[in-house]
A = this chain, B = another copy of it.
């Protein structure tokens, strides 16, 4: 680092920070054996738990909960409550979000209306513990990574188990990632009408679930390209990181939530897990593991502004 400008000021000096900087220097240095042309500099980022707080509820679950509680008529309340508590226990299963959405979306809203509704909610909703907007509870060190990558010719994509249309209304402002670079779970849609014009309406049927292998398949379907850098925090991101790892030069980073005091402390594995432990993968495949407690000087975006 010496006298140079520090692109990652919120990161503690250490193994992970050094490796990120080394990686970017290598792939952008035309004289390096690891040089990668700009068109191939694809970086993919999980959202919940990787770029943004995901406890006690995913932002999308908090949104849907609010919508459900406001819904008129609120039918079958006890059933909804059962579903809510079930979802709370199985945060990493995107399927649950879509089950949720089933109830909310039974009225047949258009994709435009859904995005508008999210856009309004996200400007007012506050996190129960931190009393900050969700967009302020993004991780400052990761915002620095996005900025650093972008400045070095990377195309940053978000690949989330939450719905793409939940993230799109604010991704440009918060992450500098435009709507067309957000890949996420989605429901089926159909072409219908609204106010006499053609409009796309959401159907309460899952179309694609971006978790585990689904993240790989969606990136491949969309871009026909493999990321050279991938960031995740949970078992749902393992396949995406393994796939990025097969590139000649790659950076695979697992965010490990170890800071009970400043954020939350929890395992990257889901309760219902098949296959290897996520941290075992990280060790065997030589991924960078971020120990949030020790690797990050600052956690949240709002702390910078404070």
Which A residues form the contact surface with B (CB < 8 A)? Answer: 39, 111, 115, 164-165, 168, 178-180, 186, 189-191, 197-198, 200, 207, 213, 216-217, 220-225, 239, 242-243, 246
Across-interface contacts of A200 in B (CB, < 8 A): 216-217, 220
Do residues A39 and B225 form an inter-chain contact, with CB atoms below 8 A? no
Across-interface contacts of A223 in B (CB, < 8 A): 179-180
- Bound-state Cα–Cα, A220 to B203, Å: 14
- Bound-state Cα–Cα, A224 to B242, Å: 29
Nearest CB of chain B from residue A176's CB, rounded to whole Å: 13
Do residues A213 and B191 form an inter-chain contact, with CB atoms below 8 A? yes
Do residues B198 and A242 form an inter-chain contact, with CB atoms below 8 A? yes
A221-B191 contact, Cβ under 8 Å, with A39-B178, A197-B246, A242-B198? no
Across-interface contacts of A186 in B (CB, < 8 A): 221
By beta carbon, the residue of chain B nearest A186 is: B221
A198-B111 contact, Cβ under 8 Å, with A178-B39, A221-B189? no
Oligomeric state, in copies? 2
By beta carbon, the residue of chain B nearest A243 is: B198
By beta carbon, the residue of chain B nearest A221 is: B186
A216-B239 contact, Cβ under 8 Å, with A111-B224, A179-B224, A180-B222? no
- Bound-state Cα–Cα, A207 to B197, Å: 28
User: A239's contact among B191, B207, B217, B221, by CB below 8 Å, is which?
Assistant: B191
- Bound-state Cα–Cα, A168 to B178, Å: 22
- Bound-state Cα–Cα, A189 to B223, Å: 14
Do residues A224 and B115 form an inter-chain contact, with CB atoms below 8 A? yes
User: A180's contact among B198, B225, B239, by CB below 8 Å, is which?
Assistant: B225
Nearest CB of chain B from residue A85's CB, rounded to whole Å: 31
- Bound-state Cα–Cα, A251 to B122, Å: 35
Do residues A216 and B191 form an inter-chain contact, with CB atoms below 8 A? yes
- 7 more contacts with CB within 8 A, not counting A111-B224, A189-B217, A198-B246, are A39-B178, A115-B224, A164-B221, A180-B225, A191-B217, A198-B216, A198-B242
Across-interface contacts of A164 in B (CB, < 8 A): 221, 224
Query: Could you write out 17 A-B pairs with CB less than 8 Å apart?
Result: A39-B178, A111-B220, A111-B224, A115-B224, A164-B221, A164-B224, A179-B223, A180-B223, A180-B224, A186-B221, A189-B220, A190-B213, A191-B217, A191-B239, A198-B243, A200-B217, A222-B222
Nearest CB of chain B from residue A195's CB, rounded to whole Å: 10
A217-B190 contact, Cβ under 8 Å, with A178-B39, A180-B223, A180-B224? yes
Q: Which of A111, A198, A207 has the most CB of B within 10 A?
A: A198
